[in-house]
Amino acid sequence: MSHMFIPGPVDVDPDVLEAQAQPMMPHRSAEFNDFFRGTEAKLKKVFLTDTRIFQHPSSGTGMQETGVRNLAQKDVLSCVNGAFSERWYQVAVTNGKQADRLDANWGDIIEPDQLAEALKKKPYEIVTIVHNETSTGVENPLKELASVVHEVSPDTLILVDAVSSLGGVKIETDEWGLDFILTSSQKCLALPPGMCFAAVSDRSLKKAETVEGRGWYFDLLRMEKHRIKNSTAMTPTMSLIWALDVQLDKMLAEGLENRYARHQAMAERVQTWALENGMETLAPEGYRSKTVSTIKNLRGVDIAALNKYLLSKGMRIANGYGDLKNKTFRIAHMGETQMHHIDELLDAFETFMEKM
């Protein structure tokens, strides 16, 4: 038995790992182009979209930078309620944008009314929202937040980081009118790190045409020029694309609704267990992540000692992030994790606590 319960990189199934060992081929060949077109078609089903999907050789942070560089000449509103939404704000600032913050405490959601008030104060080209804060275990009410933007400031583009949720939680890209939604390979998609993916609307590309200083590597117009030829502007991560194809087939065979239900059930199991054992989640009820639970360390567990014990059994959890280190711990339940893995972890956790 060996299983990691950290929020990425997650465990990768052996057949997906083995797929990476397929021989290389020219990345400008017709054979590769056909394959690449196929993975985009499957990704559209996972993103619940009919729009284009970019398959890019970078981390999710690279796609955060893509969004702000391409879609805002100046004015950005960053919703910040955790470490990764803070990062997106910093990405905007370091790329020379005029970025304003809409803050909520770590552990709280971004309230739709709060967003509406901010959008009434000045026009913004884009708003950045992290759907699932990996640092806090908070799932922001994305559907409601998107609805507010459409109602209050319809010209503002909606940019969403779904790095730790897409593929484990239902996100209706087209139905909710999301303009730019990104994820990366090593979380719910259960692939090795190294790729990011983004669904990008037509109006986003139109906006990009008006923005200067888009750069080269992250230029959406350059990406689109090559995408329509089933290719990339730069050398693609070919081995990861072989693995992607296998993993997408597995996800679609499981059925997306079944996959969402599995993630929900694992989250409820972990979060109920925490309450039964004298602890509680950082996130409020109704907004608890379905892919990673951030739990207040109310029992004073020595997380380093716990992980040493868990590692002897082939398991590992994650400490709290940043200022939440040791005050919280995180149990991820995403990707190919199954309920029996969760049961084994919680049994081991209880055994450790009995020895405290």
Mean of the pLDDT values across residues 276-297?
98
User: Residue 47 and residue 57: Cα distance in Å, rounded?
Assistant: 18
Return the pLDDT at 2: 72
Is the pTM of the predicted complex or chain greater than 0.95? yes
H-run or E-run covering 77: strand 75-80
Q: Quick check: 100 and 219 in contact, CB under 8 A?
A: no
Q: Strand runs (DSSP E) across 201-345, as ranges? A: 280-281, 292-296, 315-319, 328-332
Q: Compute the distance between CA of residue 240 and CA of residue 84 in angstroms, rounded to an integer.
A: 24
Say how far apart CA 180 and CA 168 lie, in whole Å.
18
pLDDT > 60? residue 216 = yes
> Quick one: pLDDT at residue 22?
96
Report percent pLDDT > 70 for the chain: 100
Which pLDDT band holds residue 167 (cuts at 50, 70, 90)?
very high
Cite the residue boundaries of each domain of the chain with CATH code 3.40.640.10. Answer: 23-252
Q: Which helix (H) or strand (E) holds 50?
A: none
* CATH 3.40.50.1360 assigned to 3-9+254-354: no
pLDDT for residue 213: 95
CATH of the structural domain 23-252, one choice from 3.30.70.260, 3.30.830.10, 3.40.640.10, 3.40.50.10170: 3.40.640.10
For the cut 90, the answer to whether the pLDDT of residue 1 exceeds it is no
The pLDDT of residue 210 is 98
What is the structure's pLDDT at 356?
82
Q: In the chain, which residues fall in CATH 3.90.1150.10?
A: 3-9+254-354
